[in-house]
Amino acid sequence: MATSKTIAVILFLITLVKSSNAAENATTQPLAPAILIFGDSTVDTGNNNYHANANFKANHIPYGVDLPGKVASGRFSNGKLYCDIVASKLHIKELVPPFLQPNLSDAEIATGVSFASAGSGFDDQTMLLTKAIPVSHQPTMFKSYIERLKGIVGEKKAMEIINGAIVMVSAGTNDFILNYYDFPTRRLEYPQVSDYQDFVLKRLEKFVKELYNLGCRKMSVGGLSPIGCLPIQITSKLTRGISRRCINSENKDAVLYNEKLQKLLPAIEASLPGSKILYANVYDPMMDMIKHPAKYGFKETRKGCCGTGFLETSDMCNSGSKLCSNHSEYMFFDSIHPSLATYTHLAAVILFLTTLVASSNAAKKATTRPLAPAILIFGDSSFDTGNNNYLPDANFKSNHIPYGVDLPGKAASGRFSNGKLYCDIIASKLHIKELVPPFLQPNLSDTEIVTGVNFASAGSGFDDQTMLLTKAIPVAYQPTMLKSYITRLKGIVGEKKAMEIINSAIVMISAGTNDFILNYYDFPSRRQEYPKVSDYQNFVLKGLEKFVKELYNLGCRKMSVGGLPPVGCLPIQVTSKPGRGISRRCIKSENKDAVLYNRKLQKLLPAIEASLPGSKILYANVYDPMMDMMKHPARYGFKETKIGCCGTGGLSDMCNSGSKLCSNHSEYMFFDSIHPSLATYTHLAGSSYATLSKLLDA
């Protein structure tokens, strides 16, 4: 997907810049010439301070209490806003000043400003109440900005800056709160919220086109947040005071609006040559924070840190208000606005913005350099790029068509999919190489060895008993292969350099699914010993821990360990349960088990990391992205998520040259009855790359 790709690209750039020692001074080089901000209070860095009539102002403490100098700059939060954080990550500047600030320096002008105004919206009627600067007036401010910019850098350079600037647009929430839900002034005209949404989106489209006409090319447009979960919305519904549940209907509206916006933006982009216009998803990351507060260190997501947390915003959050003691534990700072902690998490998720940067030449040059010296892969068929081809006894082999049908030359390389695997895609994103060869391939060149290989084996698992059935190379044996790899590597580059390569190599581990399928669910050979799946999980995780420590002892430092996929939704698991043939519903109990296992793994890995000095060990979440694909197939271009593309979609190992093949492989989430298609691996690599890239910084 565009979004995942973009996330990849930006993180790429950033980590690249951070990690390459050669380019020490690249860190300080901005990734875009300027940043330009339009919208409402989520991105107003202080314009309302200079706008006499505005009803919403954050020019008083405790706003800004966590900014340097504790200044109430006009930002509606305790610290930097999302757009400041992005500007900083792009190495443009630390804070984006408001355009209305009277004493702006030339340097501030040249690197961009914010035109946003708290209380603003796309619907001009929204401003009757707030007296903010309407979004529709912001292009006029932008025009006078451009005049000033031309005066500073000249006409030609000014247009280059505008063309290359990262433009962020964030508005819409006020239109719905102030014109529809809480003050239903627009309801008479638009009894159905869907019609009012279309009205707002028309205005948004007009606005984006105006920015384009003024020279903007690289734009990110934010969707709506979960409006029904904003503390003020909960408070405003009288009966919710105590339970403080979110207003589901308002959230549903926001989701619908966001879906429409996600369709609209590519259409606008297509109509504006040379433009790149991206959707910024704030809804899902914020819902995730609300659903899993602990992941983010939050103790409170239902009221703001300032005041009683129920109604306070603007004047009602003031120096007399009670303030929570730890601001980072609150998702909201006042009753509407996210805290600095939330903006920081959001910026981490939505950094795809930098895709916008990708077209700039400076960045392009940088991306061809490898981001790590080598990649080393361990695990099962989700990672095996062909080792089983060289194992006479292995029961699972994909050395025949239609496997590999979408690889260059349509070669059935031993990969269990139609094309590249997830690990190949990551290797390519890291600019290491296009395909990660299997270590057992006899004719590996020195270059292939030096840049990393794959030790995974289809049918493998952490439990050695899993291999009784599959005759794969157990995960537990893969470190032995790594040892002989290291010996060969030392022969090529010398002992010291070899250890440097191993230390900095990106190590990816994916196994576990076979243990549960082949030893517990479908062939319950381990069930007698471990009647409770939780106990068997602990046994598997012990195997995993031992394995990770062995890799560490051999020199690996940067490791990513995959969790379980939604095992109960693998086509083969659905097929194997009588009665599911027609409904093809997922096996809930197996999914629940996978979730539990993943939770344990997420606790275990930091503990292992803490016990291994100098290591960085990350959890790779495949469960949630895969569930998202199943729940929202259309978002990924999938038409079928329940059966594989190859064969009848029923049983595995029965996918061969005689099998019927689906006509469009990209419309299938699975290629055979167990293994994801290339399309799925591509989406996964996009969504997980953000995490993986943390290894580069380590």
DSSP label at 380? S
Q: Pick between residue 388 and residue 514 the one whose CB is nearest to ligand NAG.
A: 388
Q: Pick between residue 33 and residue 562 the one whose CB is nearest to ligand NAG.
A: 33
Stretch that binds ligand NAG, among 74-82, 501-509, 585-593, 662-670 (CB under 6 A): 662-670
| Least distance to ligand NAG, CB of residue 540, Å | 31
For the chain, give percent helix, strand, coil, nearest 5. Answer: 50, 10, 45
Element spanning 28, H or E:
none
For the chain, how big is the Rg over CA atoms in Å?
A: 27
Structure tokens at 196: 């009012």
CA–CA distance, 374 with 439 (Å, rounded to integer): 13
Q: Pick between residue 182 and residue 329 the one whose CB is nearest to ligand NAG.
A: 329
Of 334, 380, 593, 672, catalytic: 334
Considering the rule CB under 6 A, would residue 297 count as an interface residue with ligand NAG?
Answer: yes
The tokens 């959001």 sit on which residue? 346
CA–CA distance, 167 with 164 (Å, rounded to integer): 9
| Burial (0-12, 13-18, 19+ Cβ within 10 Å), 262 | middle
Considering the rule CB under 6 A, would residue 68 count as an interface residue with ligand NAG?
Answer: no
Q: What are phi and psi of 588, to 5 degrees?
A: -60, -40
Which one of residues 160, 288, 329, 628 is an interface residue with ligand NAG (CB under 6 A)? 329
Considering the rule CB under 6 A, would residue 300 count as an interface residue with ligand NAG?
Answer: no
| Least distance to ligand NAG, CB of residue 665, Å | 8
Considering the rule CB under 6 A, would residue 443 count as an interface residue with ligand NAG?
Answer: yes
Considering the rule CB under 6 A, would residue 213 count as an interface residue with ligand NAG?
Answer: no
Number of residues near ligand NAG (by CB under 6 A):
13
Q: Pick between residue 212 and residue 439 the one whose CB is nearest to ligand NAG.
A: 439
Which one of residues 41, 666, 682, 693 is an interface residue with ligand NAG (CB under 6 A)? 666
Q: Are 110 and 161 in contact (CB under 8 A)?
A: yes
CA–CA distance, 657 with 328 (Å, rounded to integer): 57
Helix (H, G, I), strand (E, B) or coil at 310: coil
413 noted as active-site residue: no
Which one of residues 637, 657, 660, 697 is an interface residue with ligand NAG (CB under 6 A)? 637
The tokens 């290629």 sit on which residue? 671
Considering the rule CB under 6 A, would residue 667 count as an interface residue with ligand NAG?
Answer: yes
| Least distance to ligand NAG, CB of residue 638, Å | 7
Structure tokens at 130: 């707030």
Considering the rule CB under 6 A, would residue 249 count as an interface residue with ligand NAG?
Answer: no
| Least distance to ligand NAG, CB of residue 328, Å | 4
Q: Pick between residue 406 and residue 464 the one whose CB is nearest to ligand NAG.
A: 406
Of 4, 19, 40, 41, catalytic: 41
E strands in 581-694: 616-620
Q: Are 280 and 350 in contact (CB under 8 A)?
A: yes
Q: Are 258 and 197 in contact (CB under 8 A)?
A: no
CA–CA distance, 191 with 186 (Å, rounded to integer): 8
Considering the rule CB under 6 A, would residue 281 count as an interface residue with ligand NAG?
Answer: no
Write the CB contacts of 558 (distance below 8 Å, at least 6 apart in sequence): 372, 504, 505, 506, 507, 615, 616, 695, 696, 698
Considering the rule CB under 6 A, would residue 664 count as an interface residue with ligand NAG?
Answer: yes
Q: Pick between residue 57 and residue 217 the one whose CB is nearest to ligand NAG.
A: 57
41 noted as active-site residue: yes
Structure tokens at 398: 């994909």
Q: Pick between residue 330 and residue 619 the one whose CB is nearest to ligand NAG.
A: 330
611 noted as active-site residue: no
Helix (H, G, I), strand (E, B) or coil at 506: strand
| Least distance to ligand NAG, CB of residue 202, Å | 28
Stretch that binds ligand NAG, among 189-197, 273-281, 323-331, 487-495 (CB under 6 A): 323-331
Q: Pick between residue 273 and residue 409 the one whose CB is nearest to ligand NAG.
A: 409
Considering the rule CB under 6 A, would residue 114 count as an interface residue with ligand NAG?
Answer: no
E strands in 416-552: 506-510
Question: Which residues are at the interface with ligand NAG (CB under 6 A)?
Answer: 25, 101, 103, 297, 326, 328-329, 441, 443, 637, 664, 666-667
Residue numbers annotated as active site: 41, 334, 337
